[in-house]
Amino acid sequence: MSEVLISNVSFYDKDYFNEFLKNNNKHFSIGSPADFWVSFYKDLLREVINDEVDESFRDRELGNKQIKQIQKVFERELENKLPDIESIPEAGGPINEVIEWKGQEYRLCLSLTKPISRQVSDFYKIISICKECLLESKPMYLSIE
């Protein structure tokens, strides 16, 4: 299996139900069968952790410097995708998520026919995890398999 997982608490030593559903902790993951997307996210993370993205590890604790770098990478990617969201007519499917970015609201259709909306949602989730970890002075955890 190939996977990238980012979380605001360590993931693999926790009970998923209690820690992530009940306690409202956050995580982002993408894995098989989406191997193309795993490679895409690894390439983005390569800007921060270099060739370590080619290794397998679980719950690597990242400090403030790396969290800020990851946040910058995904903010850049989000900014690049938002103009495409604005050009997608709302008739393309139901609105599943609404995000606010720099004072503007974006309505996202997360259907399989709207991969740009899905990417924006993913980028936004990763940025939110980064912001929370920085605000609360706690580590972020990265796992790559």
Tens digits of per-residue pLDDT, 76-135? 999 999 988 765 555 556 777 888 999 988 888 877 667 888 899 999 999 999 999 999
Domain holding 9: CATH number?
3.40.1760
Q: Based on the structure, what is the number of domains in the chain?
A: 1
Residue 9: which domain range?
A: 3-144
CA–CA dist 66, 83 (Å, integer): 27
Helix axis angle for 64-86 and 35-49, nearest 10°, is: 130
- With tokens 């899905």, the residue in question is 118
Q: Given this model, what pLDDT does residue 78 score? A: 96
For residue 49, pLDDT over 60 is answered with yes
> Which pTM was predicted?
0.86
Choose between 5 and 119: higher pLDDT.
119
